[in-house]
């Protein structure tokens, strides 16, 4: 805690936000996301190409001398806030954060460059539910090939390259065409999970799995808080807007004190989440240089322990306060609820992060 | 003491020159404070001649750093918080020149303590419904009524007072703001004992108290507007300084947890970790608010921070009583006393638990603050106002 975290947004970060929001306003409308969710291709790869290719956002975390944009977790967090607000079905967190962080811990700059430029989508083949530091399943390695099955892998359906931990302690790159990827019917329609089956798939070792996976999951957990902030922000804003319009008993529903108080409490949770999410993003940005590693661990665990219940609460309140319309397939609020609930498991539950904190801040269990 | 420009470097030079002329080590405390006021170094954003230099408020830190480095005495701001935080800004904004010259200097030096006569038994959240009457009699006003929740009333020389001067108009329009001499005949102060056993506050009975018209602040009937300045400053004063991690109530229970492994249970562990996270997030939210203020982009979070603090303090102190198990059945001392200042994190867990109950009532109840957030931040429709156009005397009571 040497210097306090910078919890604000810079002008550049606000400009980035506007650019992403404009793009999503034009190319990621709720009705389209919903229609796409029931097709064979729930991911929107055209949108991904605009974000990753045209806008160059896939390489934010990668230094310029390794083929990236040389930005930090602070900027990536702003992108994730906006993607969360739109429940955008793109593999940004999976590829531009998780797989990218794993590769940053390894030495394969060729593959890193492909991901950073958006030419390839990378996916770390580790279950979405795992927390930083959790043990993770590994497949069998034999003579340069991999054998085994992994489940619950987010966005694997659109991966070009899979990063797979193996039983020899290595992390291996496998071209997706060499693996059998089967989408699982997923709670979250906009970030579906899949099984990955490897039957002698040719694989190239890119580094050691342990540190790469740990680093990737820590960044994922920290930046997921910004996505959750986006979800909470959208659901609150939309609910307030709706309750000003919707009239029952000859007055706007938003004038009833019981509902006003619920929304005011929710607003307080959302502004608190903003501070927690900025703290995690800022700590990760500093931790990249090896300083304050422990501070980043604490900031990430705090943000993730706080974010998951807030995002779920915001989405649940949005549904309830929309009344019957909120229960329909047609209204987009369920997309946010499903994302929020899945996010509450992703990269460790609030409970898992509480347990991590017990060790980090010396509040030991009985 | 002039010619240094009003930037940070100039103020630093000015402060050092002042310190050279009034060495703290060999100057009487009160003389030092009076001289500091007269040199314009009391509150630099106040006008010249009234303890300030008309400088930006942010530059006060420069002066304070220099004075602190020189081990200079301060005016014990926590002891005189009501004067500094509420009376002074109101006098500055609405007082006559004569009033400003009379009251601000001894207020700032702490020679004269102030208290606030606002709340009444019949006017809590609905403060504008207050019924203490002030009737004109020649050059005086004659005041009759009862005020409550007045801290420092038994020590104060002066009070800021709002009273009803016109019962025939709607409640907000018939109020006038006064400065009341607490030593005048007809002012009776009684301690108000609270659930902690002690009496931080008082009831104040006003019976035929004569206040000269020269002690009126603002126009007759304009007291509600004047009071807004006072109340706005009350809420601004919350969350002024950056807390370190575990800086508040959570630090106490975390310390107990670490020192007493024998008290730990799994259930308490889960609840403690959850509250630790919430306390850290509230701390970060306050830190973010301060950064916004420093960057000149004040956010609406300020009005809501008190909501968060109140709930957290209550939950954390409640957990700590439970954590203490058999010791939680005990209480340190029920003796009635009148503490000069309040420390929410002071004494033992039982006291903290009981005192924290007031956090969601004092300075605006959590229910009223939620209304304020809903209406002013979220733009939701206001509560129905059936009393807006009704004369005060015709209101239901």
Distance from CA of B269 to the nearest CA of A (A): 6
ipTM summary value: 0.95
Report chain A residues whose CB lies below 8 A from the CB of B375: 260
Dihedral through CA B276, CA B372, CA A245, CA A14, nearest 10? -60
A332 in a structural domain: yes
Percent of chain A scoring above 90 in pLDDT: 95
Tell me the two tokens of residue A208. Answer: 């050691």
Is residue A226's pLDDT more than 60? yes
Instruction: Look at chain A and report how many structural domains it folds into.
Output: 3
A301 in a structural domain: yes
For A98, which DSSP code?
I
Partner B, chain A 280-339, Cβ-Cβ below 8 Å: 302, 305-306
Is B315 assigned a catalytic role? no
For chain B, domains (ranges, CATH) are 8-69 (no CATH), 84-223 (2.40.110.10), 238-363 (no CATH)
Residue of A nearest to B246 (CA): A361
Residue of A nearest to B301 (CA): A271
To test the contact with chain A by mutation, choose from B311, B378, B382, B383 the residue with the greatest count of A C-beta atoms within 10 A, namely: B378
Phi, psi of B217, rounded to the nearest 5 degrees: -110, 115
What is the CATH classification number for the domain harbouring A328?
A: 1.20.140.10
To test the contact with chain A by mutation, choose from B244, B287, B288 the residue with the greatest count of A C-beta atoms within 10 A, namely: B288
Is residue B225's pLDDT more than 50? yes
Phi, psi of A5, rounded to the nearest 5 degrees: -65, 150
**Same domain as A172, residue A115:** no
A134 in a structural domain: no
Last residue of a domain, one of A119, A151, A177: A119
**Same domain as A24, residue A90:** yes
**Beta-carbon neighbour count of residue B58 at 10 Å?**
13
Q: How far apart are CA B80 and CA B78, in angstroms?
A: 5
A133 in a structural domain: no
Secondary structure element (H or E) that encloses residue A355, with its range: helix A350-360
Q: For B278-293, what is each residue's pLDDT tens digit? A: 999 999 999 998 888 8
Report chain A residues whose CB lies below 8 A from the CB of B295: 8
CA distances from B93 to B36, B89, B97, B218, B228 (A): 22, 6, 10, 9, 11
To test the contact with chain B by mutation, choose from A255, A272, A305 the residue with the greatest count of B C-beta atoms within 10 A, namely: A272
What is the CATH classification number for the domain harbouring A16?
A: 1.10.540.10
Taking the CA atoms of chain B, what radius of gyration do you get in angstroms? 23
More confidently predicted of B25 and B341: B25
pLDDT band at A35 (very low <50, low <70, confident <90, very high): very high
> What does the pLDDT average to over A51-76?
95
Is residue A33's pLDDT more than 90? yes
**Same domain as A291, residue A218:** yes
One of B66, B200, B234, B320 is an active-site residue; which one?
A: B234
Beta-sheet strands, E only, within chain B: 114-117, 133-137, 140-151, 158-164, 175-181, 187-192, 201-212, 216-217
Report chain A's mean pLDDT, rounded to a whole number. 96
**Same domain as A162, residue A52:** no
Distance from CA of A100 to the nearest CA of B (A): 28
> B78, B66, B39: which is closest to B55 by C-alpha?
B39
Phi, psi of A184, rounded to the nearest 5 degrees: -100, 145
Q: How far apart are CA A325 and CA A330, in angstroms?
A: 8
**Same domain as A262, residue A178:** no
**Same domain as A305, residue A238:** yes
Q: How far apart are CA A250 and CA A228, in angstroms?
A: 35
Position of tokens 């400053």?
A: B233
> What does the pLDDT average to over A73-97?
98
Is residue A39's pLDDT more than 80? yes
The per-residue pLDDT for A331 is: 97
DSSP string, B82-127: HIIIIIHHHHHHH--HHHHHHHHHHHHHTSS-EEEE--BTTBSSSG
The answer to whether A24 and A88 are in contact (CB under 8 A) is: yes
**Same domain as A333, residue A225:** yes
The pTM for the full model equals 0.92
Q: Is the dihedral of CA B142, B148, B154, B160 positive or negative?
A: negative
Q: Which of A4, A5, A240 sits opposite B378 (nearest CB)?
A: A240
A200 in a structural domain: yes
Last residue of a domain, one of A175, A208, A241: A208
Asked whether the beta carbons of residue A366 and residue B242 sit closer than 8 angstroms, the reply is no
Distance from CA of B386 to the nearest CA of A (A): 15
Q: How far apart are CA B74 and CA B31, in angstroms?
A: 12
Asked whether the beta carbons of residue B269 and residue A1 sit closer than 8 angstroms, the reply is no
**Same domain as A262, residue A311:** yes
Q: How far apart are CA A160 and CA A137, in angstroms?
A: 21
Tell me the two tokens of residue A220. Answer: 């994922």
Task: List the single range of B57-61, B279-283, B318-322, B325-329 with lowest mean pLDDT.
Answer: B57-61
Q: How far apart are CA A198 and CA A20, in angstroms?
A: 36
Is residue A129's pLDDT more than 90? yes
Q: How far apart are CA B374 and CA A267, in angstroms?
A: 9
Q: How far apart are the first and last CA of chain A?
A: 27
Alpha helix stretches (DSSP H) within chain B: 8-21, 29-38, 60-69, 81-82, 88-94, 97-109, 223-236, 249-259, 266-294, 302-323, 349-356, 366-372
The answer to whether A121 and A145 are in contact (CB under 8 A) is: no
Look at residue B374 and give its three-state secondary structure: helix
Q: How far apart are CA A188 and CA A211, in angstroms?
A: 28
Range of the domain at A108: 11-119
**Same domain as A326, residue A257:** yes
> What does the pLDDT average to over A344-365?
97
Look at residue A90 and give its three-state secondary structure: coil
**Same domain as A221, residue A201:** no
Last residue of a domain, one of A89, A119, A149: A119
The per-residue pLDDT for A1 is: 45
A236 in a structural domain: yes
What is the CATH classification number for the domain harbouring A170?
A: 2.40.110.10
A127 in a structural domain: no
The per-residue pLDDT for B397 is: 82
Is the CB of residue A40 less than 8 Å away from at least one CB of chain B?
Answer: no
Pairing of strands B187-192, B216-217: unpaired
| Total beta-carbon pairs less than 8 A apart between chain A and chain B | 128
**Same domain as A145, residue A91:** no
Is residue B113's pLDDT more than 80? yes
The answer to whether A138 and A212 are in contact (CB under 8 A) is: no
Residue of A nearest to B261 (CA): A366
**Same domain as A323, residue A264:** yes
A5 in a structural domain: no
Q: How far apart are CA B349 and CA B351, in angstroms?
A: 5
Beta-sheet strands, E only, within chain A: 122-124, 140-142, 145-154, 161-165, 170-175, 180-183, 193-202, 204-208, 247-248, 251-252
Look at residue A342 and give its three-state secondary structure: helix
The per-residue pLDDT for A287 is: 79
> A305, A309, A286: which is closest to A296 by C-alpha?
A286
Task: List the single range of A23-37, A342-356, B226-240, B261-275 with lowest mean pLDDT.
Answer: B226-240
Distance from CA of B236 to the nearest CA of A (A): 18
> B345, B319, B303: which is closest to B263 by C-alpha?
B319
Report chain B's mean pLDDT, rounded to a whole number. 93
Q: For A151-178, what is each residue's pLDDT tens digit? A: 999 999 999 999 999 999 999 999 999 9
> What does the pLDDT average to over B111-136?
96
């Amino acid at each position: 805690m040497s210097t306090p975290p910078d919890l604000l947004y810079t002008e550049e970060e606000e400009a980035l936000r506007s650019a992403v929001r404009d793009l999503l306003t034009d190319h990621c409308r709720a009705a389209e996301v919903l229609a796409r969710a029931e097709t064979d291709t729930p991911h929107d790869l055209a949108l991904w190409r605009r974000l990753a290719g045209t806008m160059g956002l896939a390489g934010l975390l990668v230094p310029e001398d390794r083929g990236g944009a040389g930005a930090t977790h602070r900027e990536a967090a702003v992108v994730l806030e906006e993607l969360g607000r739109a429940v955008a079905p793109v593999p940004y967190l999976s590829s531009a954060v998780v797989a990218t962080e794993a590769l940053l811990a390894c030495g394969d700059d060729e593959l890193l460059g492909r991901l950073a430029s958006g030419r390839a989508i990378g996916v770390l083949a580790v279950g979405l539910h795992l927390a930083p530091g959790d043990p993770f399943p590994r497949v069998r390695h034999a003579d340069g090939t991999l054998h085994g099955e992994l489940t619950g892998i987010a966005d694997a359906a659109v991966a070009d390259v899979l990063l797979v931990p193996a039983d020899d302690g290595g992390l291996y790159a496998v071209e997706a065409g060499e693996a059998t990827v089967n989408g699982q019917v997923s709670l979250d329609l906009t970030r579906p999970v899949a099984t990955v089956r490897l039957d002698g798939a040719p694989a190239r070792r890119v580094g050691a799995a342990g540190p790469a996976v740990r680093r990737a999951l820590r960044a994922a957990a920290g930046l997921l808080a910004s996505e959750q902030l986006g979800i909470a922000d959208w659901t609150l804003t939309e609910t307030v807007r709706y309750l000003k319009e919707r009239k029952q008993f000859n007055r706007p529903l938003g004038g009833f004190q019981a509902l006003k108080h619920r929304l005011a409490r929710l607003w307080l949770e959302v502004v608190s989440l903003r501070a927690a999410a900025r703290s995690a993003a800022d700590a990760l940005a500093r931790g990249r240089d090896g300083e304050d590693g422990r501070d980043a661990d604490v900031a990430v665990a705090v943000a993730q322990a706080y974010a998951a219940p807030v995002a779920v609460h915001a989405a649940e309140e949005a549904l309830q306060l929309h009344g019957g319309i909120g229960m329909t397939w047609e209204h987009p609020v369920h997309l946010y609820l499903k994302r929020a609930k899945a996010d509450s498991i992703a990269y460790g539950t609030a409970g898992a992060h509480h347990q991590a904190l017990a060790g980090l801040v010396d509040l030991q269990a009985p | 003491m002039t010619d240094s420009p009003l930037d940070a470097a100039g103020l630093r030079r000015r402060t050092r020159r002042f310190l050279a002329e009034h060495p703290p080590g060999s100057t009487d405390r009160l003389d030092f404070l009076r001289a500091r006021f007269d040199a314009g170094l009391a509150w630099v954003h106040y006008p010249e001649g009234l303890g300030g230099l008309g400088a930006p408020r942010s530059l006060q830190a420069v002066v304070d750093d220099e004075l602190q480095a020189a081990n200079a005495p301060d005016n014990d701001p926590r002891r005189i918080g009501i004067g500094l935080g509420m009376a002074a800004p109101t006098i500055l904004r609405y007082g006559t020149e004569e009033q400003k010259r009379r009251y601000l200097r001894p207020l700032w030096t702490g020679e004269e303590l102030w208290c606030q006569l606002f709340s009444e038994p019949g006017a809590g959240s609905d403060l504008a419904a207050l019924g203490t009457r002030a009737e004109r009699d020649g050059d005086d006003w004659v005041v009759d009524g009862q005020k409550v929740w007045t801290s420092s009333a038994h020590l104060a020389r002066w009070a800021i007072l709002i009273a009803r001067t016109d019962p025939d108009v709607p409640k907000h329009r018939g109020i006038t703001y006064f400065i009341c001499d607490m030593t005048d005949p007809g002012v009776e102060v009684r301690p108000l004992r609270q659930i902690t056993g002690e009496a931080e506050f008082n009831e104040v009975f006003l019976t035929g108290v004569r206040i000269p018209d020269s002690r009126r602040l603002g126009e007759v009937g304009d007291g509600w507007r004047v009071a807004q300045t006072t109340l706005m400053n009350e809420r601004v004063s919350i969350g002024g300084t950056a807390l370190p991690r575990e800086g508040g109530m959570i630090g106490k229970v975390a310390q107990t947890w670490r020192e007493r492994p024998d008290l730990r249970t799994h259930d308490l562990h889960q609840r403690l970790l959850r509250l630790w996270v919430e306390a850290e997030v509230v701390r970060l939210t306050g830190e973010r608010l301060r950064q916004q203020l420093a960057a000149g982009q004040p956010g609406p979070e300020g009005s809501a921070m008190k909501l968060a603090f109140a709930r957290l303090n209550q939950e954390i102190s409640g957990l700590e009583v439970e954590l203490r198990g058999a010791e939680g059945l005990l209480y340190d001392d029920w003796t009635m006393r009148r503490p000069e200042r309040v420390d929410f994190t002071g004494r033992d867990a039982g006291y903290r638990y009981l005192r924290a109950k007031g956090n969601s009532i004092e300075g605006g109840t959590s229910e009223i603050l939620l209304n304020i957030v809903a209406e002013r931040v979220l733009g939701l429709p206001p509560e129905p106002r059936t009393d807006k156009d009704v004369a005060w005397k015709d209101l239901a009571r």
